[in-house]
Structure 1
Amino acid sequence: MEKAQFTVQQGWPEHHRKTVAALYEQAFGQKFRLAVPNQRQRIALLAQSFKPEYALSVIDQGRLVAVAGFQTPKAGFTSGIGWQGLVDLLGYVKGAWAALVFSLFERKPSQHTMVMDGIAVAEEYRGKGLGSMLLDGIIQQAQVQGFSKVRLDVIDSNPRAKKLYLAKGFKQVKREYYPYLNWLLGFSGSSTLEYSIHPQLSQQQGANLKAKSMPQKPAMYSTYAKEYDVAIQDNIYNAHYERPSLQAMLGELAGKTVLDLGCGSGVYAEYLLTKGAKVTAIDSSSEMVALVKQKLATQLTVYQQDLASGLPEEADASYDLVICPLMLHYLQDLNPLFVDVKRVLKVGGSFVFSTHHPMVDIEASPSGNYFATEQVTEMWDTVGKPVEVSFYRRPLSALITALTDHEMVITELSEGKPSEALKTISPEHYQRLSEHPQFLFIKALA
């Protein structure tokens, strides 16, 4: 069967009610088991409680094979599970207990936010894109009904679903841990994700919005790529401050698989290779990638890609180390990249990066609000002439949260130290960088 043969529809014919209940119980019975231990009773409860007008389904050759529910302030897919129904089915004591347990999982929609009530796909139909189709349908349904957001919760024991939601553009807004309840609930944490719905835009308006929300590729790394490569070989901020500080955090490299994000002209890649690492390098600038290929083509894998969209070409658990020198401040949203960094790292692997120091960038803040993540445009003379560069400044808390939300643990944090050679080359810069750090360096464990 091909994905194109399937069609998403709203609701379902009444004779499918028990099928929907069995399908939903199969997907979410782990949550409901604590409230209603008997599987037959769980299915009966679900069957009588569902409101099909608050659901989307996929029916293949007369068989219902997938369903997704949603909630609005008016009602929802499972809103028929009420106190009286539980008492009628289970008796007063067990019904009261079930009501208490169900309240733990209750998520309220709002005037502007639709809540998704879960996706269930028949086992033999998984991997055919039905979950993705239903998710698109929920988002479309929310847009048609005038909601500005779709919210959902995903438990930590379902990473496959979370990966789908993030790939669809959902952003994690909250993470909850309750390991002490693992024995009771069957899982120890959950994430709340939200999808923001934009009003319908014309193609040109959409292009304009995208152009405004993302900094253009700086001419520094395209038009002046060769000049930049020459400049950073032995300059103050890159060669004598950033590189020695980040390299000090890398540890033993011989035999390690390393992913170099924002590889630029290949200075780090070359260093990694000399230390015996196996290197893959990625940069958003085709000009920089061309320089790396020119210098190191036979020694590593290198390709061009916009890192704002994550690492779709990289396999799970394939790297011992991921480095990202002075690149993260070009990304407005760190989540797509960080979720993939966590994914591609082996267990116990490290993510090491440098970025602008939050206390330095606040001086250039358009709003003056330290806690804002905002675009800044400056003129830099790195290549010997003024070149306009746009980047994003963010508070330290935003960096830390981006790591912890994706289950990475900070093991080292540094504000950098200039090389001893700089003391001779430029005593003034050595003293300034020793007293007023410009960059932040973080090492996190996957």
Structure 2
Amino acid sequence: MPAEGVTIRRGFPPGERDRAARVYWEAFGGKLSRVMGPDARALEFLRAGLRPDHCFSALDGQGRVIGLAGFKTPQGSFSAGTRADLRRIYGRIGAVWRLALLRLLIDEIDNRRFLIDGIAVTEHARSRGIGAALLAELCAEARRRGYEAVRLEVIETNTRARALYEREGFVATRTERMGLLRYAFGFRAATTMIRPL
């Protein structure tokens, strides 16, 4: 259960799109800043592409987004900016090389397992059970959709997230080295973790 005063809900309120983008970038900017930076452009891209129909959010007592948990389906993913968004924000040349690199991170839809597309909790709200509550909601959504397992990827440097996933029953199944891509994304390996439902 999350801390008192925190509400978990499907999607995020329409007026919270900017804050949702900031929470997501706070969590994943370290991994994506070399490709999606500078910050102002990355935030503009996220604001344009975040899909509330593919996430759950944690709201504080004032209704502000303090956590997000995205997922992927055959209909799309939570952080789903378009090519047109990339061109508009980064220009034609900037869009081409960014798209090429981002495609290397995108997994195909897994028809047997429900795919998590990132969990983010703003720094001041961590260690209050919010990540675990969001993860529980994702697992419940997977069950509602008829999946038998949930899958996610965690980068080698995110030991805090990996510890949470292990506590919640996820088991590492493989680790993939990034090779030369580590220079673009800033991490050397990502581990696939699966939790049977």
The TM-score normalised by the length of structure 1 is 0.42
Instruction: Report the alpha carbon displacement of residue 179 of structure 1 after superposing the two structures with TM.
Output: 5.3
Contact 1:179/1:187 (<8 A) preserved: no
Q: Larger relative CO (CA 8 A, sep 6+): 1 or 2? A: 2
Per-residue CA distance 1:174-215 (angstroms, 9 max, x = gap) = 111235443332111110011112xxxxxxxxxxxxxxxxxx
Contact 1:34/1:101 (<8 A) preserved: no
2:16 equivalent in structure 1:
16
Matches within 5 A, 1:397-416: none
2:40 equivalent in structure 1:
40
Distance in 2, Cα, partners of 1:82 & 1:31: 20
Whether 2:97 is the aligned partner of 1:78: answer no
Distance in 2, Cα, partners of 1:83 & 1:96: 9
Per-residue CA distance 1:413-440 (angstroms, 9 max, x = gap) = xxxxxxxxxxxxxxxxxxxxxxxxxxxx
The TM-score normalised by the length of structure 2 is 0.93
Contact 2:35/2:185 (<8 A) preserved: no
Distance in 2, Cα, partners of 1:9 & 1:48: 21
Instruction: Report the alpha carbon displacement of residue 112 of structure 1 after superposing the two structures with TM.
Output: 2.5
Contact 1:155/1:190 (<8 A) preserved: yes
Matches within 5 A, 1:223-238: none
Name structure 1 gaps, 5 residues minimum: 198-446
Instruction: Report the alpha carbon displacement of residue 64 of structure 1 after superposing the two structures with TM.
Output: 1.3
Larger Rg: 1
1:57 equivalent in structure 2:
57
Instruction: Report the alpha carbon displacement of residue 36 of structure 1 after superposing the two structures with TM.
Output: 2.2
| Alignment coverage as a number of residue pairs | 195
Contact 1:35/1:99 (<8 A) preserved: no
Distance in 2, Cα, partners of 1:149 & 1:192: 13
Distance in 2, Cα, partners of 1:47 & 1:167: 32
RMSD (CA atoms): 1.5
State the SS of the aligned residue for 1:109.
coil
Distance in 1, Cα, partners of 2:130 & 2:104: 28
Contact 2:11/2:53 (<8 A) preserved: yes
Distance in 2, Cα, partners of 1:7 & 1:16: 14
Identity among equivalent positions (%) equals 28
1:68 equivalent in structure 2:
69
Instruction: Report the alpha carbon displacement of residue 87 of structure 1 after superposing the two structures with TM.
Output: 1.2
Q: Residues 178, 36 of structure 1: CA spacing in aligned structure 2 closer, same or farther, 3 A cutoff? A: closer
Distance in 2, Cα, partners of 1:3 & 1:70: 23
Q: Residues 183, 110 of structure 1: CA spacing in aligned structure 2 closer, same or farther, 3 A cutoff? A: closer
Matches within 5 A, 1:144-159: 144-159=144-159
Instruction: Report the alpha carbon displacement of residue 29 of structure 1 after superposing the two structures with TM.
Output: 0.8
Whether 2:107 is the aligned partner of 1:126: answer no
Distance in 2, Cα, partners of 1:8 & 1:122: 14
